[in-house]
Structure 1
Amino acid sequence: MAIITLYTLNKYAISFSQFYEVPVKKQWKRPALLQLWALLLLVVFLSVQATAQQQPPHKKSNAMYGRMAPGLAQSLRTAKSKTVRVQVKNKAQFLSWLAEHGYQGSIDHPIATDRILTLTNISAKTLQELSDCTIVTYIDKPNRQAKEEIELRDADFAVNHIYSVKGLYPMLNGSNMAASVKEEAFDKNDMDLKGRAIQPETFGALYTPHATTMATIIAGAGNTGPRGKGIADKARLASSNFVQLFPDNSQELLNKGVSLQNHSYGVGVENYYGLESAAYDRETFQNPTLLHVFSSGNSGNKADAVGVYTGITGFANLTGQFKTSKNTLSVGALEPNGQVGALSSKGPAYDGRVKPELVAYGIGGTSEAAAVVSGVSLLVQQAYKELHGSLPTSALVKAALINSADDAGRPEVDFEAGFGNTDALGAIRTIKDNRFILGAVANGAEKLHALTVPAGTKKLKVTLVWHEADAAPEAAKALINDLDLVLLNTTTAKTWKPWVLSSYPHLDSLKLPAKRGTDRLNNVEQITLDLPEAGNYQLKVFGTTIPQGEQSYTLAYEFETGPELMYPTVGVMLQAGQVNRIRWQGIIPAEKGRLEYKLNGSSTWELIAENIELGTLYFDWQTPDVISKAQLRLITSSATVTSGEFILAKQLNLNVGYNCDEALMLHWAGLPNVTQYQLYKVGSTHLEPYITVSDTLALLPKNQLDVLPELMSVAPIVEGTAAETSTAIAFNQLGIGCYIKSFLPYQYVSDTINMQLELSSLYQLVSVTLERAEKGNFVPLQTIAPVNQLTYKLTDESPALGANLYRVKVTTQAGNTYYSKPEELIYVDKSFVQVYPNPVRSGEMLSIVVADEQVTVQLYDQMGKLVRESEEVGMIKQLSTAGLHNGLYILRLKTESGNYVAGKILVL
């Protein structure tokens, strides 16, 4: 006996996981026969791979399931609300049918259409009748409760090359653009969203941190500090509730100027094309400039419980049927190591289509990843609008994003990372460089587009995208119009087809690498070619199956020509003396390189590191502790690239020196080689330059200003350029008065009087005096001059027994005096006791002041009977008089030292 490995073949893929033990006959050992077997296996393998993606995975043919959402019948059995949504051919006929069949439930219309209705009180019998009804075209789940995806607040815009866009194209900032955030409401009064909410009068009083974070990532102004600055920081924002999972009225969104809607929520794993999916495809097709961006979900470690991919953990787990729509974008999340997060939901869609199409940075949280892509998409739309005067189609935006994405996960396309990691700069350049083609093709026709590949191109990438009408939910696949893309070298006549994946419902098949082939499932096709020969090419678009009319399409293409430093870029600030991550792209993975830097004004390049593994695409650099402009240089075996001029500096910490009636003083620690600092105020929507100073403090005379802004920040000016701002401060809310930051006793009741004074500034301060109130006037007890520190311990050596009132007076060089708020302290000795109020009304609390921390409190009536006893802790003890009769009582206190103190109490 011998063990021979056989391949288990099916219609779509090959699984390598099954082994069989078979007898080996003697003649099998002939070399020629063994070679024949190997050749046959190879032919079958290649044939299977060629057809692996040509048809959708198997779908149950039973009519009950074909026109019903997967798992609906099972879920209705356990659901409290027996509710379904139905799509019908004719509403009037269906209502008559319901009446004829004695339907007793309610009827609702979830969206503005006469073909979809919500029915309640659905029994198993009624469900079967609905499934048999020829007027009903589809039975779907009712509206579900959406939940926000995980919120992580860890955005790093460098990963997706957003800072590169801001450095190279500073005017691309979301101006005259608007996005909608569909979930709970965001905080319209958040300082980073101030003044930019569309129709704020419609906002309720409630908002969520999640929605506010999503809105901030997309379009935060950065008023509170650098971390509050979003991608399209001047865009306007609308809010839309996700209580209804069907799409909003698209025309209403467009009338508000909204060209994009972000959806960072889910309803649990659902992998089918239902009424919501169809509705989003229909809305997008009818309103071609409106783009919907969905988070893929945070259920990447789960499996679908029903449907084609049942039980396959780690795949086909998008969190909502609406995310499987074909004319929208779904976005997964990348972790810092460049890998797709384990919790990031993955494809394929129910019919084998690629989902998600893109990923972005998010450490496993797809909410933020989707918001990042939404922000980038707004900039792509703005770039096109400024060049052409109108909004681009969402198909063009998708083509630019998908084609420019950096490969992530397994090579080329896959079901985890889709077509790759979003590259904001690449997408913007696609539009700016006019590297896209708009066309249309009819059934059976072919369109040719010439393409010239320049010399030195490392990689050619071409992506075809088209949006089409919504499919029938019961269809085996969502695709209706099938286009095919082929790349042709006109000199050699060699052709290349798009990358396709095996969608067969088996774990081994879904992990197979992409192969070139004919795509019969997706309305996105991509061809890439490494090291293409320079010369003339043609892009062929075939109208393979177009049932009626013409199908419009978009082609986007790019030529990768070599390495490029992506971060830092022009105007970006790196933290001096700290570890900063440097990023690049366009490197051959196995290549090594050398990284250097040069300070402004120097001709010497200093070594950072050599023999760097460039395939990692980043390097952590411990920057020199200097304040200067600088440049980076990356040297490889084939190229030397230099970065734009960036800034080495440190973020300042803005403090309030004093906040007096006549003036406000702000100060911060200075930086070497910096001679000017820029103060900013928050204007109606964004930071505005306020004043420039040469010192490390700013005196703002209140009587010379119309009004002080509520928030202020400061930035160093490094060689003529303002660097990163400090975190903004609301100086009126910090509790800092005129020089005196705080004046508090160590203990309010004590046998020693000690107080802690903290000053906010020493600027022009001459003296500090402790004063005590005597006979209605404050008299000085202790004076400190000169004042050379910010904190002092102040003491009264001769206080009076009982309550004492103190304050602090500060005096400046100009002779101005300022006072703290008075503080009352109670001085006690071992024999001191104070009881108040006395007399006390029955039922009121009696307060007892005594030196000891813990005492036993006893209360006796006039007959000497003990009526109340308790252990009391604290300098001021509390004793209830509830239930005591009117009269005179004896109060007796036993202290920790064993002493007894007595007094009389009158209860009224």
Structure 2
Amino acid sequence: DRLAGLGLSGVHLPRAQDRVHPSLAVDLAGNDRRVRHAVTVLPWDAKHVDRLRQLVDAPVLDEIPALGALIVELEGRAIERLAEEALVQWIEPAPEEGEPEDLRGRTFHRVNALGTDVAGSPGLDGTGVVVVVNDDGFVGPHIDFTGRTEQSDVAGDMSGDHGDMVAGILGGAGNLDPRQQGMAPGSSLIIRQYSGSMPNTVDLYQDEGAVIFSSSYSNGCNAGYTSTTQLVDDEIFDNPAIIQVFSAGNDGTSDCGFGAGSNWGNITGGHKQGKNVIATANLNDIDVLTGSSSRGPSTDGRIKPDIGAYGIGHVSTYPPNTYGPGGGTSAAAPGVSGTLALLYQGWRELNAGDPPSGLMKALLLNAADDLGNAGPDFRFGWGRLNGTRAWQALADGRWTSGSLDQGQNTSHDFVVPPGTAELRVM
């Protein structure tokens, strides 16, 4: 009777084929059953992970502890047998190994008017805000990061300089050349090696106070709402101060199976298709979307990317103690992360504690300069990042919060000053 009262017309027990990701099912059907596939296996409950290990009976390549998920390599016939097990909720392709997605940034993002060197400004530089940069190894040596990085996770890993470029755009101090200052030159940076399973996010928040996580790596083109996507959304829901910022991707002309041909549905994730995260498009200095910038929608039809930022023609930090060019959505995403660090600092100066990241995301999107089609679209999201306008909305208290139960509604009153040209409500 209780179920009938909810309007249910039936109950369906998941079949083996319901537990297998569609793209994996295609691979299994098209290959000999002895071919091995790297997969992520998700139980119904994380507490059953030990039983899942026994069922898998194969070396574990990686884990997603918060979900109890195991990443393993199995023959096709073993995957088919595993899908028959009641303990198993879902089997999907393992996260792809990430690939990097790469003088005017502060002005373009309208954060120059918020800095400590402008008379009458709020004097925001990200001081006290801890940002995690997930990238390709050790950052530096570079005097623009002196005293502000924690790099124990990548100590000795000098293999790449993509992370140097990203970190400089986000939080370079401009000590070597003040013109190359990043968005949040006072922020504290934790540098980690990127992993597609996004491990230890909550630990870094609880132990180190990290609230902003910036990743400029791909995670499978049009990969859909994966287990990692669920993980980052759940972590933000349970820890509202956390925000994840991603590059939208550099596959703007690719056909990734969305169904609308090339140019659409090619966001490179995975985790960046989450509902609580921010995916960043790549704009040039005259607000034109670059041809390589990945387009939405998400696999399930939602607006992606969320916002656009400057990603072409950056000059950023490179080791040792020099600067060089950087570009792509890799360079756009840290512009958003650094701007968020300024807003987090500003919130803390106005209020107690950390802001809800949902409010920070809403402020950025609603304050963006609309580009492309009127309103949000699948190329620019809500438009070009405008840090000053977002700060003004925050400082003026142009927001409200509340709660609703299922089936309830409420109303809010706003005073719109005479002569107002536009009102945006999100």
Give TM-score, length-normalised by structure 2.
0.85
Identity %: 28
Residue among 296, 302, 307 paired with 1:358: 307
Sort the Cα spacing of 1:225 and 1:75 in 2 relative to 1 into closer, same or farther, 3 A.
farther
Asked if residue 177 in structure 1 is aligned to residue 126 in structure 2, the reply is no
Q: 1:438 aligns with which of 387, 397, 401?
A: 401
Residue 373 (str. 1) matches residue 336 (str. 2): yes
Match for 1:111 among 43, 64, 74? 64
The answer (yes or no) to whether the contact 2:139–2:191 under 8 Å persists in 1 is no
Give the one of 32, 40, 43 matched to 1:85: 40
Structure 1 residue matching 2:235: 3-state secondary structure: helix
1:395 corresponding residue in structure 2: 358
In structure 1, what is the equivalent of residue 83 of structure 2? 131
- 1:208 CA displacement: 2.6
User: In structure 2, what residue type is equivalent to 1:121?
Assistant: L
Residue in 2 that maps onto 1:68:
20
**How big is the shift at 1:199?**
5.2
Q: Which has the larger radius of gyration?
A: 1
Where do 1:552-563 residues align within 5 Å? none
Give 1:449 shift: 1.2
Q: CA deviation at 1:445?
A: 0.9
- SS of 2:166 mapped into structure 1: helix
The reply to whether residue 240 of structure 1 matches residue 189 of structure 2 is no
Q: Aligned equivalents of 1:282 and 1:216: distance in 2? A: 30
Residue type matched to 1:360 in 2?
A
Larger mean Cα displacement after TM superposition, 286-295 or 107-116: 107-116
The Cα offsets for residues 489-525 of structure 1, whole Å up to 9 and x where unpaired, read as xxxxxxxxxxxxxxxxxxxxxxxxxxxxxxxxxxxxx
Indicate if the aligned counterparts of 1:264 and 1:366 stay in contact, CA closer than 8 A. Answer: yes
Which residue of 166, 171, 175 maps to 1:219?
A: 171
Contact 1:105 1:122 in 2 (8 A): no
1:433-457 Cα offsets, whole Å, 9 max, x none, are 1111111111111122110111010
> Larger RCO: Structure 1 or Structure 2 (Cα < 8 Å, ≥ 6 residues apart)?
2
**Contact between 2:252 and 2:264, CA under 8 Å: does it hold in 1?**
yes
CA distance in 2, matches of 1:369, 1:397: 18
Does the aligned pair in 1 maintain the 2:250–2:294 contact within 8 Å? yes
Please state if 1:332 is matched with 2:281: yes
More helix by proportion, 1 or 2?
Answer: 2
Please list every run of 5 or more consecutive structure 1 residues that lacks an aligned counterpart in the other structure: 1-61, 464-908
**CA RMSD, 1 decimal:** 2.5
Counterpart amino acid of residue 92 in structure 2:
D
Give distance in 1, aligned partners of 2:243 and 2:48: 35
d(CA) in 1 for partners of 2:199, 2:174: 31
CA distance in 1: counterparts of 2:47 and 2:237, whole angstroms: 27
For residues 170 and 197 of structure 1, the distance between their equivalents in structure 2, rounded to whole angstroms, comes to 25
Q: Is the alpha carbon distance of 1:98 and 1:196 closer, same or farther for their aligned partners in structure 2, counting shifts above 3 Å?
A: closer
For residue 83 of structure 1, what is the amino acid of its counterpart?
A: A
Q: Do structure 1's residue 163 and structure 2's residue 112 form an aligned pair?
A: yes
* Distance of 1:98 and 1:204 partners within structure 2: 33
CA distance in 2 between partners of 1:328 and 1:350 (Å): 15
Q: 1:332 to 1:403 in 2, by over 3 A?
A: same
Q: 1:342 to 1:94 in 2, by over 3 A?
A: same
Give the 3 Å change call, closer, same or farther, for CA 232–91 of structure 1 in structure 2.
closer
- Rounded to whole Å, the distance in 2 between the matches of 1:86 and 1:142 is 9
* Aligned CA distance change for structure 1 residues 412 and 122 (closer, same or farther; 3 Å): same
How has the CA–CA distance of structure 1 residues 450 and 155 changed in structure 2, closer, same or farther, with 3 Å as cutoff? same
| Residue 201 of structure 1: how far off its partner (Å) | 8.3
Aligned residues: 393
AA aligned to 2:81 is: E
1:661-810 maps to which residues of 2 (within 5 A)?
none
Displacement, 1:121? Answer: 2.5
| Partner deviation per Cα, 1:355-414 (whole Å, 9 max, x = no partner) | 111011113711111110001000111111100021101101001101100101111111
In 1: Cα distance, 2:153 partner to 2:405 partner: 48
Match of 1:315 among 264, 281, 285: 264
Please say if 1:341 is aligned against 2:290.
Answer: yes
Aligned pair partner of 2:239 in 269, 287, 302: 287
Q: 1:194: which partner in 2?
A: 146
Q: CA separation of 1:269/1:453 partners in 2, compared to 1, >3 Å: closer, same or farther?
A: same
Distance across 2 between alignment mates of 1:361 and 1:406 = 13
Q: Structure 1-normalised TM-score?
A: 0.41
Go from structure 1 to structure 2 and tell me whether the alpha carbon gap of 1:155 and 1:262 turns closer, same or farther (over 3 Å shift): farther
CA distance in 1, matches of 2:104, 2:236: 29
CA change 1:232–1:65 in 2 (3 A) is: farther
Q: For residues 267 and 155 of structure 1, do their structure 2 counterparts lie closer, same or farther at Cα, with a shift above 3 Å needed?
A: farther
**1:244 Cα offset (Å):** 4.5
Change over 3 Å in CA distance of 1:426–1:186 after alignment to 2: farther
Change (3 A) 1:132 1:80: closer
Distance 1:106 1:378, change over 3 A: same
Q: 1:250 to 1:104 in 2, by over 3 A?
A: closer
Provide the secondary structure at the position in 2 that maps to 1:221.
coil
Cα pair 1:304 1:311 within 8 Å, conserved: no
Per the alignment, in what secondary structure is the counterpart of residue 192 of structure 1?
Answer: helix
Using the alignment, how far apart are the partners of 1:254 and 1:188 within structure 2? 27
Alignment pair present for 1:255 and 2:207? yes
Is contact 1:69–1:272 with CA below 8 Å preserved after alignment? no
Cα distance in 2 between the residues matched to 1:284 and 1:322: 12
**Structure-2 residue corresponding to 1:470:** none
**Cα 1:375–1:130 shift into 2, 3 Å:** same
- Larger strand proportion, structure 1 or 2? 1
2:22 alignment partner, SS class? coil
**Contact 1:70/1:272 (<8 A) preserved:** no
Query: Post-superposition shift, 1:251?
Result: 2.8
Task: After superposing the two structures, state which structure 1 stretch, 281-290 or 360-369, moved more.
Answer: 360-369
> What is the deviation of 1:427?
0.7
Q: Which runs of 5+ in 2 are unaligned?
A: 1-13, 313-326
* 8 A Cα contact 1:284 1:290, kept in partner: yes
| Cross-structure match for 1:422 | 385
* Contact persistence 1:270–1:318 (CA under 8 A): yes
1:812-851 → structure 2 map (5 Å cutoff): none
Q: Secondary structure at the match of 1:261?
A: strand
Q: What is the alpha-carbon distance in structure 1 between the residues aligned to residue 215 and residue 53 of structure 2?
A: 36
Structure 1 Cα separation of the partners of residues 42 and 82 of structure 2: 11
Residue identity in the other structure for 1:84: V
2:74 to 99, 102, 121: 121
Amino acid at match of 1:130: L
Contact 2:295–2:304 (8 Å) recurs in 1: yes
